[in-house]
Structure 1
Amino acid sequence: MQTRSANPDPRNGDTAALLDAVMFAADRHRNQRRKDAEASPYINHPIALAHLLATIGGVTDVDVLRAAILHDTIEDTETTEAELRSRFGDVVAAMVMEVTDDKTLSKQRRKELQIEQAPDISNGAALVKLADKTCNLRDVANAPPVGWTLARRQEYFEWAKRVVDRLPPVNDALLRAFAEAYAGKPEGDGSPGEE
């Protein structure tokens, strides 16, 4: 009887490789919660990205799907680039690095860099970034972070659109999904009763 390695070859493109990334991300994000009123488990977010990529975008590239699952591990956990390279390979680690913000910079500078760097990222990273912004818009519209004012939610929508507008055109179906999410932008001028 032939057995499989506990660490599947990251280039084999099989389900085990994708599930290995899910297990790794679930472990790394295990104590994290989203900032919505329900404090949803953080792992729901990267899983939603991979789901959107596969179901709406028709993405079958396992490296892209794994990068989506792992996209916040370096930025929001103690995971290192070297660790991702060792476990998931150079291609996945490189995509994750392309979508990882440098937390030593101010939030404003990180946001500016996302806009500036968007045209130059790889197609795989652009798919992950597009899915991330789409899922985030859906979340901000339907389950916004606690304490976010109408104005802040509207600003997030505008900034996300500026990032996406500069990405390489990688997937029409995902761009349509982003446009649909963007159409859900909260409206109003923030006057009393609209928050």
Structure 2
Amino acid sequence: MNNEERADLIAQEMVANLNYNVLKEAAETEKAHLLSLLFKALAFSAEKHTKQRRKDVDKTPYINHPISLANILAKRWVIDENVLCAAILHDTIEDTETTVDELQEHFGEKITSIVLEVTDDKSLEKSVRKQKQVEHAASISHEAKLVKLADKIANVTDIINMPPVDWSNDRKKDYFDWAKAVVDNLRGAHQGLEKDFDELINKENSFLIVL
């Protein structure tokens, strides 16, 4: 190898190392940004839901629910920061005093828009809200569908493992049937999440039928 060839090889190695370092630094920066945003969303959601509890016998802190959504998504390699943050914040407008402007100020328009897509209008009767969820499921954004899938998986899991204290088997079955109707209109959004939901619902429906 002559000096010119050796110089070219050294130059190529330097470029390769530079590109690697730049990419590594960019990846670390992106990871730090994602973690910072997630912790910000967790802190915001925890504060907003601080006085709320789930309906199980232990009155589990409500914040466990949005955390569960984010965990369900992450396990299925959904790592879009907008989706994860929207999952953590998905009940803030619907179930707390959080305003749209407040959410936009802290998390921007994209995350807020996803949250709004999965937010029910509490001025409507519950039966109407449930029907609208079924009807609108097919037309919401892909990001909102992912949040909605995770929400249904989390709720079904909670009803199976730590149900509301006053729920009969018939009421559980009604919820499962309704949740499936919503998920059926979300089909095609994420095969893995849909599989997780189907396995849960099929197993539990079989158990309830036996009872």
TM-score of the superposed pair, with normalisation by structure 2? 0.82
Runs of 4+ in 1 over 2 A off after TM superposition: 183-190
2:187/2:194 contact within 8 Å kept: no
Larger Rg: 2
Structure 1 Cα separation of the partners of residues 37 and 91 of structure 2: 18
Structure 1: which 5+ residue stretches go unaligned?
A: 1-11
Match in the other structure for 2:40: 20
What SS does the aligned partner of 1:183 have? helix
Structure 2 Cα separation of the partners of residues 168 and 152 of structure 1: 25
Correspondence list, 1:25-174, <5 A: 25-55=45-75, 57-174=76-193
Match in the other structure for 2:23: none
Query: Percent identity of the aligned residues?
Result: 49
Higher helix share: 2
Structure 1 Cα separation of the partners of residues 49 and 208 of structure 2: 35
Q: Tell me how far 1:120 sits from its aligned partner.
A: 0.3
Match in the other structure for 1:4: none
Q: Tell me how far 1:188 sits from its aligned partner.
A: 4.0
Residue identity matched to 1:156: Y
Aligned residues: 179
In structure 2, the CA distance between the partners of 1:172 and 1:188, relative to structure 1 (3 Å rule), is closer
2:49/2:63 contact within 8 Å kept: yes
Q: Tell me how far 1:146 sits from its aligned partner.
A: 1.2
Structure 2: which 5+ residue stretches go unaligned?
A: 1-31
Residue identity matched to 1:146: V
In structure 2, the CA distance between the partners of 1:168 and 1:80, relative to structure 1 (3 Å rule), is farther
